[in-house]
Chain A
């Protein structure tokens, strides 16, 4: 008898998960400034960061550029890195919004609904993920337009699809990361300061801007790259998207990302289930 109830319950969780997903998406489109910044931000990053930086190698022999960046010119090398920034910032922020729900009281309303907490968290994370993927796709699309003049090209359809998988895994990891951090902090302010602090090293020591191997002679910084999940995300994403030679074998990137994603999901779910509502 009780098994039957439990079965029915699992089945009926699908709609609540969907409703939490839907809420995220409606929220996104209800906030026009967010929609605009999602579109404008990648354009700015590409135009103000990737373009000028790619001029660093102006006049150098193309072979030198290509040896350093795994067979790519610097602009093409930077595009996946910029997608990576979006995943890092967007993912962490989507975790943070779970906290905002607590401050704004909405968490209470869902906590008394006949829904498991893990379902609530999953639905929210999927919602954030959808918005994050939208931004990643816009970035890649805009980069392809710039690429007509600056030599960036998507290698193949299968490569593109694999790149999406890397994006999803990376975003998911940082979304759970945001939720876990959120659980450790009481107020939003201290938390935001900490997030800003930790995003810096995560971003710069991920191979997004500087090839991983270039830091070989620098102790500590070189090693930090290996414990940063974003390193594996950007490495796999770059290779899949552009057909360049990855630093790690692709399967290593995938296994590391999946493992971290599972561990972070469990930690995130635990954090969320322990969250106090008052």
Chain B
């Protein structure tokens, strides 16, 4: 399959601050590729470079073989963009926004009619297309922007935090709509997100990005597998004041504990699969003067993979 995005050694500096640090990745045709990372990791900056709004400091990026710096006009013809924050004219109706968008891409009247009908159906917007965006809820406006992104037969659609501020139900709906639209239009999708479930549900491959660098690229399945087969996570209380490091030191020596993924509350241990691990741990903790407040044995998820590759959780990363 052809690579629709090829990025090599891409770097962007703002003064002394390095926003994107020497990243490489490729996105294949019809693939949904996700950038998973905390706010400020460099996801949006990378997108801005790829959609020709920002010049890189060094390195190169090609969309469908066109260089984003040297051939921005050709690049723009190949892409659809859904920005993180509002980008439509709210005095106009959804249909008027879509129609003007088509005109800007020099689509003929028949083409526009056909495509508008198609994307309205894909994003389940039929019936509200003649209402001014001002009078519609934020989630619907967002769907119009996604519809617009897919309207011009783009080879690549960029979705910058598509479901930010959505409730669970609206988020799940939009995910499946994005999947449908991508299938129907045959586009590849590059999306940025800091929602674990979004990356897990939508993406064929995920790049974990932190501190302006890509630290891992793989399928969500493989990323989870790289963490281990089974995890146990728990909150503990220190009854005798021995310190958490003492507990960690002791628990590491248990023969079914493979390693420590996270050494502060909630603690996460990589373990061998087996019966009765939860009970064993509770007993063990009690014996050395600790008490387990809550405990959960589970398979690794993408959150654990993020932790595994970056040494911190997304929430910690966002906090500081």
Contact = CB atoms under 8 A, between A and B. Distances in A.
B29 to A, nearest CB: 21
A114 B83 contact: no
B103 A109 contact: no
A15 B103 CA distance: 6
Given A23-B89, A30-B91, A277-B53, A105 B83 contact: yes
A16 B104 contact: yes
A31 B101 CA distance: 20
Contact of A113 (B85, B89, B96, B104): B104
Interface centre among B89, B101, B148 (most CB of A within 10 A): B89
Contacts of A16: 103-104, 106
Contacts of B148: 109
Where chain A touches its partner, the secondary structure class is helix
Interface string B62-98: 0000000000011011010101011111111100100
Contacts, number: 69
A18 B104 CA distance: 9
Contacts of A22: 100, 103
A23 B92 contact: yes
B51 A112 contact: yes
B87 A26 contact: no
Interface string A1-34: 0000000010010011011101100110011000
A108 B83 contact: yes
Contact of B91 (A20, A27, A115): A27
Contact of B92 (A18, A26, A110): A26
Contacts of B79: 112
B87 A109 contact: yes
B96 A26 contact: yes
B219 interface: no
A109 B83 contact: yes
B132 interface: yes
Nearest to A276: B53
Interface size classification for chain B: 20 to 34
Interface residues on A, range: 20 to 34
B85 A105 contact: yes
Given A105-B86, A108-B83, A277-B53, A30 B103 contact: no
Given A105-B83, A277-B53, A113 B92 contact: no
A112 B104 contact: no
A26 B87 CA distance: 17
B86 A12 contact: no
B105 interface: yes
A195 to B, nearest CB: 21
A9 B77 CA distance: 12
B53 A19 contact: no
A252 interface: no
A18 B148 CA distance: 19
A6 to B, nearest CB: 10
A12 B76 CA distance: 14
Nearest to A111: B53
B52 interface: yes
A128 B131 CA distance: 24
B77 to A, nearest CB: 5
A151 B23 CA distance: 75
Contacts of A108: 53, 81, 83, 87
A20 B101 CA distance: 10
Nearest to A16: B104
Contacts of A12: 106
B78 to A, nearest CB: 9
B75 to A, nearest CB: 8
A106 B89 contact: yes
A30 B83 contact: no
A111 B90 CA distance: 17
Given A105-B87, A108-B87, 13 more contacts: A16-B106, A19-B100, A19-B103, A19-B104, A22-B100, A23-B100, A30-B91, A30-B93, A104-B90, A106-B87, A108-B53, A109-B101, A111-B53
16 contacts: A15-B106, A16-B104, A20-B104, A23-B100, A27-B89, A30-B132, A104-B90, A105-B85, A108-B81, A108-B87, A109-B81, A109-B87, A109-B101, A112-B76, A113-B101, A115-B104
